[in-house]
Structure 1
Amino acid sequence: MLGRDTDWRQGDLLTREAAAALGLVAAADERHRVIVIAHDCDLPHESELCVEVIVAEVVVKEDSQLSYAKNPRRLHLAYEGINTAPLILELRHGDRHSVPKADFAERAVKDHSLALPVDAKRVLKQWLAARYGRPAFPNEFEERLRKGKVERKIAKILEPDAKYLVGLFFDLGEQRGTEAVEGEPYALSVSVVYDANEGGADARRAAERVATQLRELFENIYGKPDVATEIALDACEAVADTYLTLADLRRMDQWRLEYVSLRDDDQGDFLPVGEIPA
């Protein structure tokens, strides 16, 4: 069993040989790697009988649309090594597995040649949490947002600048949990949050460009705020992630950029969203 002194951590990679020994991949499989996704504290805890892992696919290039946990179903992570190109892996929730701790302790071997940077590990945690933290917007709001396939048009606007964006946040105010009646518009404020540290001025311009296009889209579909009867876009602004407060995050819901990437076959007809925990 794993003891308190274990050096296994969430985000660690198993060697190919160890993954094959555990029956998670084929012995000659070079297209998949296995990642530990169990929480650090759960790995040595005696009440946890299994170690949760995910079988990830090796991809050639990181897709910015699948970074920053924007997509609740798929995630791209880049593992770094010494004197080697980054290893880009695509994770899908459907490829999670539970390995009995006794088997893991006996056969698992950590791949020390590759490591997940601190920021990327934070993204992994957010992505895992978003699986169960996605809020449901009011059904009536979702129906109105589907009018004219608006949600897909939002994705098309976001796609060219996805690499600069941390997320798109919707604020419905007091209507957050309300099913509005016909003729009563939802008053919506949108924050296009960009990465100020990594993207700098380019990211700010990209977010401002997205905000302008979103305002035009909502006015074309629903009309200007003072005459809209379905969704009134009262505000849509570019916001640096460094200026977003905890109070802001508790008030808003994140619209996950799932439609930006290829749609999963089992996605169904729902609005992909996520939520910052209260």
Structure 2
Amino acid sequence: MLARDTDWRQGDLLTCEAAAALGLVGATDHGRRVIVITHDCDLPHDSELCVEVIVAELVVKEPRPDPQLSYAKNPRRLHLAYEGTDAAPLILELRHGDRRSVPKGDFAERAVKDNSLALPVDAKRALKQWLAARYGRPAFPNAFEERLRKLSGKRTVEQMIAKILEPDAKYLVGLFFDLGEQRGAEVVEGEPYTLSVSVVYDATEGGGEARGSAERVAGQLRELFEKTYGKPDVATEIALDACEAVADTHLTLADLRRVDQWRLEYVSLRDDDQGDFLAVGEMPA
């Protein structure tokens, strides 16, 4: 079993040899790596009988994180960049369907940490957010989601939102929807949802360029909603009351308790097994 002084932490990588010894990957499979996802406090806890891991795919086509799959923007897939002292970053794609449980006895006996690669602090925070978002994201009201599927030209509104967001995704922290008192309401036909949108950007890392991107996105979203639903005073489905670019440094805890983060899975669920439409609402992690 793992002792209290174990140096294993959430986000650590197993060596390829150790992953193969545990039967998680093939002996010659170097296109997949195994990541520990059990919480730091649970790793040595006596009541936890297994160590949970994810078998992640090596991203080789684009050797850098996809902005739409970074910072927990997509609740089903995540890109993480591991940094090495003498090597290029290792980009891995995680999917919840690739989670595995390893008995602690087996893990303690055969697991070996890959100390040549480390997960930066901000990336580990994103991993925690992504794991939490699996179960923590609420759905918006069904009637609201249905209205977001209204066609605007040849695409639905939510697909158009995806198209607007994609070019500037690397600068955006998230898109936050405020439905006020209608947050959990299934409103009747003819009564509009009153919506305020905050396009939150990374003011520290992105600076003026990020602000410009967020303002451009906010303007395009206003045009989309007015074109599709009409101006707020005449809209009968969704009345966009406000849509503004907001610096993440200005978003308060009170703000976060009032709004819901809207994560559009359509953007990055492009594989064949995406299945039926998935709920897009999600609380900030």
DSSP 3-state at the match of 2:88:
strand
1:212 aligns with 2:223: no
Alpha-carbon deviation of 1:267?
A: 4.4
1:139 aligns with 2:146: no
Question: 1:235 maps to which residue?
Answer: 242
The aligned runs of 1:160-171 (5 Å cut-off) are 160-171=167-178
Aligned counterparts of 2:278 and 2:266: Cα–Cα separation in 1: 11
User: How many aligned residue pairs are there?
Assistant: 277
Question: 1:224 maps to which residue?
Answer: 231
Q: Deviations over 1:118-160 (max 9, x none)?
A: 0100000000000001111111111111111111110000000
Match for 1:268: what amino acid? D
Query: What's the TM-score once normalised by structure 2's chain length?
Result: 0.95
The aligned runs of 1:1-278 (5 Å cut-off) are 1-60=1-60, 61=63, 62-148=65-151, 149-264=156-271, 265-276=273-284
Alpha-carbon deviation of 1:4?
A: 0.5
Aligned counterparts of 1:69 and 1:50: Cα–Cα separation in 2: 25
Aligned counterparts of 1:217 and 1:274: Cα–Cα separation in 2: 22
Please give the root-mean-square deviation of Cα atoms over the aligned residues, in Å: 1.0
Asked whether the 8 Å contact 2:176–2:197 carries over to 1, the reply is: yes
Alpha-carbon deviation of 1:266?
A: 3.2
Aligned counterparts of 2:269 and 2:278: Cα–Cα separation in 1: 15
- Uncovered stretches (5+) of structure 1, i.e. residues with no partner: none
Aligned counterparts of 2:56 and 2:6: Cα–Cα separation in 1: 23
Match for 2:71: what amino acid? Y
Q: Percent same amino acid at aligned positions?
A: 82
DSSP 3-state at the match of 2:58:
strand
Aligned counterparts of 2:224 and 2:81: Cα–Cα separation in 1: 34
Alpha-carbon deviation of 1:24?
A: 0.3
Match for 2:238: what amino acid? I
Match for 1:255: what amino acid? W
DSSP 3-state at the match of 1:34:
strand
Match for 2:211: what amino acid? R
Alpha-carbon deviation of 1:63?
A: 0.8
Q: Deviations over 1:223-264 (max 9, x none)?
A: 000000000000000011111111111111111132222434
Alpha-carbon deviation of 1:113?
A: 0.3
Aligned counterparts of 1:276 and 1:167: Cα–Cα separation in 2: 9
Match for 1:72: what amino acid? P
- Uncovered stretches (5+) of structure 2, i.e. residues with no partner: none
Asked whether the 8 Å contact 1:13–1:33 carries over to 2, the reply is: yes
Asked whether the 8 Å contact 1:65–1:257 carries over to 2, the reply is: no
